Amino acid sequence: MRQALLLAEAAAQAGEVPIGAVVVRDGVVIASAANETRARPDPTAHAEMLAIRRAAEALGQERLTGCDLWVTLEPCAMCAGAIAHARIARLYYAASDPKGGGVEHGARVFDQPTCHHRPEIYAGLGEGEAAALLRDFFAARR
């Protein structure tokens, strides 16, 4: 989560919403990414999506079986869907997101009968720091 938070901080400095994500397997970092929606521009370029795409490319496989995803904010419905498609084993996220989250809020993607894979979910590690990064970012842009 330390690395995900550093990626989020770098994203903020680049003018992107500060969210970072890291894919890990057996203690080894397979891929990492920060949010890049503005730079590309690409509305799907959330940190989780980019980290999953890069991990699949690095491993040469569609399913990231045995891989964990660490991300600084509760994934939205799009990213939760991608996590299910990728068969991520464990999802760790820092801050929860009542406004846009799709795990414990809104679409609750993993709780649906149409969801073909539900990772183990651990929330809250690094929550304070992740939330502060987002708060400061949006406060500075007002």
What is the DSSP secondary structure assignment for residue 103, as one 8-state letter? S
Is 46 annotated as contributing to ligand binding? yes
Spell out where the chain has E strands: 20-25, 28-34, 67-73, 90-95, 120-123
Q: Clarify whether 120 is annotated catalytic.
A: no
Instruction: By CB under 8 A, tell whether 105 contacts its own copies.
Output: yes
Closest CB to its own copies among residues 102, 119: 102
| Binding-site size, its own copies (CB under 8 A) | 43
Find the shortest distance in angstroms from Cβ 68 to its own copies.
15
CB atoms within 10 A of CB 54: 16
Instruction: By CB under 8 A, tell whether 123 contacts its own copies.
Output: no
What is the distance, to the nearest Å, from the Cα of residue 141 to the centroid of all Cα atoms in its chain?
23
Closest CB to its own copies among residues 82, 94: 82
CB-based contacts of 32: which residues, under 8 Å, 6+ apart?
3, 4, 7, 20, 21, 22, 23, 51, 54
Instruction: By CB under 8 A, tell whether 107 contacts its own copies.
Output: yes
Q: What is the rounded CA–CA span in Å between residue 49 and residue 33?
A: 9
- Whether the upstream peptide bond of residue 41 has omega within 30° of 0, thus cis, is yes
Residues 10-29 that bind its own copies (CB under 8 A): none
Find the shortest distance in angstroms from Cβ 131 to its own copies.
17
Is 105 annotated as contributing to ligand binding? no
Instruction: By CB under 8 A, tell whether 4 contacts its own copies.
Output: no
Residues engaged in binding its own copies (CB under 8 A):
37-38, 40-44, 49, 52-53, 56-57, 60-64, 76-82, 84-87, 98-102, 105-109, 112-116
